[in-house]
Every structure is written in structure tokens, then in C-alpha cells.
Amino acid sequence: MIGRTIILVSHHVQLCAPGATYVVALDNGHVQFEGSKDDFYDSGIIRTLIQTAQSEEPDDKGDKEALELTEKQILAEDSEPSSETGSTAATSKPSSVKLERKPARKLVEEEKRAVGRISRDVWKTYIWACGNGWYWTVFIFFLIVASASPVLENGWLRCVYYH
């Protein structure tokens, strides 16, 4: 991957920012920040983006240190080999970092549902989206011919058989 540009889009800024060389922070489609990783940490915008805010260390250097500590913990957990015996030993996290959950923001609006009959405008739009006037004229002609052909066939056979 050396020499390639990789674009990673994530809500987990605290996990991705330590490995980034250039950071672009968006909020509702507007650019809040763009620049290097160190400038990103120094700007303080990271506190608005991280869903788990640090309650003990409100300064920017504390955020940077807490993120580096979190990164080290995750890397340490990933590097530990998993046991095949199925032991249930839990890894304890340091008590010096207290994480507090912010409420999740709503990303998708609730769907609206119409109740009742489908209006004529909707039917008209649907029908004309399938084809123009010539299409529907030919379609109805062949529909009538296909419906009438068994009746005409039986009538023709009756005339031939009885005469």
C-alpha cells in the first residue's frame, strides 16, 4: 500500500485518526476541518466528533494522550493470540481513563407512510412511465386479440364441425 492514497470514512475517529496523515472532518455535509493529524488534535474538533468524550482531561494534549492509549490497548488486544481452550479471562481496562457515552445522533430520517387510496396522479405517473401513447395502443390491441382468440377459435371450430 506504499505510495497509494487510501480514503477511509468512519465514525470512529479515535481509532482512525492516529494512523492518518491527512484528516478531513465533516458535519452534515460541511467541512469542519482539513489538515494534518497533529493540527487535528490541536484544533479541538476531535472532541465534538468522538462519541465517547473524556470527562477527566478536557485539554487537547489529554485528548491526544487518551487516543494514543486507546490505540495501544486495541493493538495489544489484537496482537494477543486467542486460546483454543475457550478460557473466559477478561482483560481489564485501566481505570485512569473514564469514558462517558454521548447519545447517538440520528442519521436517517423516519419514513413517512401514506394511508388510504392511491391517488390518480400516482397511477397516471406510473402508467406513463411505462410507455407513451403508441406503446399503450399496441399493448391494448394485442391484449384484446389475445383475449378474443380462444373465443374465435372455438366459434370457428364449431362452424367447421357442424357444417
Could you read off the pLDDT of 58-100 as tens digits, one per residue? 455 566 676 677 767 766 665 555 444 444 444 444 444 555 6
Q: Is residue 111 part of a domain?
A: no
CA–CA separation, 161 and 163 (whole Å) = 6
Measured CA to CA in angstroms, residue 36 lies from 45, 65, 66, 124, 152 at distances of: 13, 17, 18, 54, 81
CA–CA separation, 99 and 57 (whole Å) = 11
**Full domain range(s) for residue 68:** 13-79+94-101
Range of weakest confidence among 15-19, 67-71, 146-150, 156-160: 67-71
Q: Is residue 85 part of a domain?
A: no
In this prediction, residues 112-140 reach a mean pLDDT of: 89
Q: What is the number of domains present in the chain? A: 2
**Res 138: pLDDT:** 95
36 phi and psi angles, rounded to 5 deg: -75, 165
Q: Is residue 84 part of a domain?
A: no
